[in-house]
Amino acid sequence: MEILPLGTETDNAVADTGQGRAFVKAYPRSADLVVREGRISLMELGRAAGSPFPAVRRTVMGI
């Protein structure tokens, strides 16, 4: 995993997977996940409308 010097509220990285590279966004334990979920939903809406946002892959450990 390559840590990226980006983000103000999250830790960001790029990970190599068996299916290619993935952008990883990690939220701190203190993060308000209800607020974050709203932001993620807006990003998904933008992606569905054709904006160049990465696809979201929800994990078992979080959103």
- Consecutive sets of 10 residues in the chain, 63 residues long: mean pLDDT of each? 84 89 85 87 94 82 57
Q: What is the pLDDT at residue 41?
A: 93
CA pair distance 16, 28, nearest whole angstrom: 22
> Domain range spanning residue 21?
2-48
The answer to the question of residue 54 being in a domain is: no
Q: How many structural domains comprise the chain?
A: 1
Q: What pTM was computed for the model?
A: 0.62
How far lies 59's CA from each of 8, 50, 62, in Å? 22, 24, 5
C-alpha of 63 from chain center:
9
The answer to the question of residue 58 being in a domain is: no
How far lies 32's CA from each of 44, 58, 61, in Å? 19, 17, 15
The answer to the question of residue 14 being in a domain is: yes
Bridge partners of 2? 14
